[in-house]
């Protein structure tokens, strides 16, 4: 059974990892997790420097943003996190990054051709059009996108991923950034893309639910 301590520890670990990788900016991006009850989530606070985050900085909130525990204001994106859990009831964690390459990937309306196995697993990723960060409109659009995929690219903004565990959610965010980066390198090299044959794309796509 999950506990609040588990949720807080996982948020701190993943936030520090993502910051070290450059997928979170000093104050951009946010991470949340379910704790002991589905009626509450723990989330990173608003505008707080992400490097060296500690558990005492985290905030426990209800779906309307009411703070149950903690002294900081919650992330302005709390509605987007709650919409993500509503879209994926099995999820216990949600990660919003400002990953630079994947963000540029979305801004330029790219898609993932089957250049490697990760690209096949990410092919169902949805793009969400621009809405004001922290808005109800953005939360609703992200929730709809996550019904079709466990990851969404927010145009001119960043990424949103969910997972059955914090590691799953973070791994998908990392995969999106790394695969977008590989595609960028391919375009910089030029020439014709070598793609995985269609019959293998179909076979590999059947494994995507396990990752």
For residue 34, is pLDDT > 70? Answer: yes
Compute the distance between CA of residue 163 and CA of residue 168 in angstroms, rounded to an integer: 5
Confidence of residue 211 (pLDDT cuts 50, 70, 90): low
Tell me: pLDDT of 126 over 60.
yes
Query: What CA–CA distance (Å, rounded) separates 74 from 53?
Result: 14
Token look-up 């964690």 returns: 93
Length in residues, the chain: 211
User: 0.85 cut: is pTM over it?
Assistant: yes
Q: What is the pLDDT of residue 107?
A: 97
Q: Which residues contact 179 (CB under 8 A, 6 or more apart)?
A: 112, 115, 116, 118, 119, 122
Smallest CA-to-CA distance from 30 within 39, 40, 38, 41 is with 41
Confidence of residue 208 (pLDDT cuts 50, 70, 90): confident
Q: Tens of pLDDT along 64-117?
A: 999 999 999 999 999 999 999 999 999 999 999 999 999 999 999 999 999 999
Residue 64's pLDDT is: 97
Query: What does the longest C-alpha to C-alpha distance in the chain come to?
Result: 55
The structural domains of the chain, with segments of one domain joined by +, span 4-210
Query: What's the CA gap between 168 and 170, in Å, rounded?
Result: 6
Per-residue confidence at 19, pLDDT binned at 50, 70, 90?
Answer: very high
Report the pLDDT averaged over residues 13-30. Answer: 96
Tokens of residue 106, six digits: 């979305």
For domain 4-210, the CATH architecture is 3-Layer(aba) Sandwich (3.40)
Torsion angle (degrees, nearest 10) of CA 197, 201, 204, 206 = -150
Residue 141: its pLDDT value, please? Answer: 98
pLDDT band at 209 (very low <50, low <70, confident <90, very high): low
């Amino acid at each position: 059974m999950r506990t609040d301590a588990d949720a807080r520890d996982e948020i701190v670990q993943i936030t520090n990892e993502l910051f070290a990788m450059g997928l979170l900016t000093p104050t951009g991006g946010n991470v949340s997790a379910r704790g002991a009850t589905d009626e509450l989530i723990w989330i990173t606070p608003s505008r707080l420097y992400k490097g060296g985050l500690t558990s005492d900085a985290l905030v426990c909130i209800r779906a309307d943003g009411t703070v149950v525990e903690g002294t900081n204001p919650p992330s302005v994106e709390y509605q987007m996190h709650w919409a993500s859990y509503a879209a994926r009831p099995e999820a216990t964690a949600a990660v919003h990054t400002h990953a630079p390459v994947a963000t540029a990937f979305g801004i330029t309306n790219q898609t993932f051709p089957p250049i490697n196995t990760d690209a096949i697993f990410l092919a169902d990723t949805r793009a969400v059009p621009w809405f004001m960060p922290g808005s109800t409109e953005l939360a609703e659009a992200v929730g709809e996108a996550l019904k079709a995929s466990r990851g969404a690219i927010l145009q001119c903004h960043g990424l949103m991923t969910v997972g059955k565990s914090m590691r799953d959610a973070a791994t998908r965010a990392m995969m999106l950034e790394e695969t977008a980066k590989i595609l960028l390198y391919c375009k910089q090299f030029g020439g014709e893309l070598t793609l995985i044959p269609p019959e293998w794309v179909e076979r590999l796509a059947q494994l995507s639910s396990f990752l």
